Structure 1
Amino acid sequence: MSRTLAFSLLLLSPLAISAQSPWLDASTTLPITFTHSVDASHAKAGDLVEAKTFQQVKLSSGAVLPSGARVTGHVVEVSGYTFDKTPYAKQAASRLSIRFDSVQSGSLSLPLHVTVRAIADSITSINAYAPVSNDLDSRSTRTLVGGDQMYASQEGIENKDGDVVAYSRRDGVYAHLIASGRCDGGSTEVSMGIYSASACGVYGFTGMRAVETGSAAQPSTLTFVSARRAAEVPKHSTALLEVLPVQQASR
């Protein structure tokens, strides 16, 4: 194959990634939405977990992972919820643990070694898509998950102090990650979807808490527990996955 033809094919393929670099770089973010509910009442270990990206992700190679790329994982551990009617009984918690395995588009499949930087239930996520319904708001303000304000007529996205911390572009929202809680900051512009630059942790999911969100010890693992109901990640919930730096040592 001639160099000219090879270069042309590279330009035509948004997912052309070097065979020597089959990994996502550390701190790359993937905004994803769950395409099916995962419910501890019905799920079992090994069940498929499916999601998809909802904003394109620009890679350091210059390639682009498109919006709609398929994210797959599986249920690692699950226990349902049964209410104990014994007086003063301490209710046994329901537990749901899932692992994100890979992101795929076309013939490309990349393994995931991530932390769940932020996750929002379906209601919180849907609300972040819609402008505030208020006749007094001439700027059609949207409040992103985490509190940043996005305006229909303005490229800059502002935090609660009025500082521009992210940008709305034709193909999505981009920001430098801002340190918050357990989450580190970053100096590279990354894809944010409906998330604020400082978004970190769990949003919504009433009555549930995350005891694992993906760490060096348990990468790509998300574990919810609930002592009130069956642990669940409803369809249309979203998450912001961030690639862990330890993956770099695997190359």
Structure 2
Amino acid sequence: MQSLKELWDYREMLGSLVKKDLKTRYKGSVLGFLWTFINPLLQLLVYSLLFSVIMRAGIENYGMFLFVALVPWLFFSTSLMAGASSIMGAQGLIEKIYFPRIIIPISVVCSNFLNMVFSFIIVFAALLITGVGLNPAMGFLPVLMAIEFFFALGLTLIVSAVNVYFRDLEYILGILTQVWMYVTPVLYPIDMAPEAIQGIILNVNPMSSVIIAYRDILFYQKFPDVSTLLMTVLCAIISMIVGVLVFGKLQKGFAEEL
């Protein structure tokens, strides 16, 4: 409770860090904030060409099938990658003033979350343009986004703290997130995977049910199977508890390691 109170007391600093990250992310570039929308669109174009033209996934309207899953996945993977180096990147700030160190990885996840929210503007526009349309199931989106947010935040707290002591982690994480994406049904429907590993993909990988839920709501226009999300909710709770405990334990040595 004391930690939560302290975090609340520094809420303005958290807001300032999030605003700073959003403003400086594309500072100096010609297109600036438009890269928030261009990045997912470029990845959408590459994967669409790869799986629709070259490898021929055989899925109707594959572009939207991919887009509705790619945007939330980019939030998750970018949060982990940026979060891993966040404490190292804030070394000057940490050495100068006191503040709850946990604010740094939280600000990273929050800024990437807002970036995802902005990207959904393009998603909704694309749904209308392609004729998929909007639907009542979208009312469940805030719940789904909250589940993914806390799952990502818990893991980010862990990797941001561990990376201070084991600095190869951020490079290893780059490889792991790539592998993680391919074992998550982002680029393909779950039934395209061999039956022998479908259960593993769903039951061992918490992000699978999240991505499937996004696709159910936005692409298939139906409410997701809540039962499949229960494991992810549990994983989000566990990752938050472990993340806070690990970060709280390791932050005591940040000053010496930095």
TM range (shorter): under 0.3
TM-score (norm 2): 0.26
Bigger fraction of residues in strand: 1
Bigger fraction of residues in helix: 2
TM-score (norm 1): 0.27
